Amino acid sequence: MTSLLHLDSSHSNDSVSRHLTGLFARAWRQLHGYGDYRYRDVAAEQVPMITSAYCSFAQRVQSHGALPLAAVAALAGTPSERREWSRTVPLVREVLEADTLLLGVPMYNLTVPPSLKAWIDRITFPGVFTNPETGSPLLRGKQVVVAAARGGGYGPGAPKEAFDFQTPYLRAYFEGMGVREEDVHIIHAELTRAADVPELARFQDLAKRSRAQAESRMAELPERLNRREATAR
């Protein structure tokens, strides 16, 4: 767990998800220092949306199966395809080089922000996260930590539990990319708008407890993951 890629995706000036990822990152740096820490704010510096050139290039590459990154570059046949690959490969390398992915993810309209979805769409280029020699997933063994903030209540037993398309999407995505179920850690802060949305005002105590629990879990998680890694050696 000695290299960390930290992504934030909130567009808010008072972001709970950014606050929570900051707690994890500070605790992680106390254990590991700054040398292998990388930060990307996909809301402030948005990842370009994929284009038709990206899609046609990806489909052609997919017909070759999993390939090393250098071999993918050699298949780009037009300036637009080369431009799309040049926008993609640095993001892919960041993910491959990280032992832990830390994502700050607010819920926007029941799911993830478009800034994060653009990043996901671009890095999910066919075959780049598969070992071309063995067919095994290159993300296996990585830790994924998600700080998931939601203005309302979507937890177990809540009336809107079935409307949560944030958590299931992220879990399905990363597990589908080869991350083990036990290595996906999603920590929620619920009812973050209770203090300023009138119809949620009666839930302010629940909101404070949810935030405090999320803060505690995010701050202690780096040490827990570090102990688990040491035990596994």
Q: Which residues are annotated as a binding site for FMN?
A: 10, 15-17, 107-110
Structure tokens at 115: 């800034």
How far is residue 116's CA from residue 121's CA, in Å, rounded to a whole number? 9
Strands 100-106 and 4-8: parallel
Q: Walk across the sheet containing 4-8 and list its strands.
A: 37-41, 4-8, 100-106, 143-149, 184-189
Do 147 and 103 form a contact (C-beta atoms < 8 A)?
yes
Do 148 and 127 form a contact (C-beta atoms < 8 A)?
no
Q: Which residues are annotated as a binding site?
A: 10, 15-17, 107-110
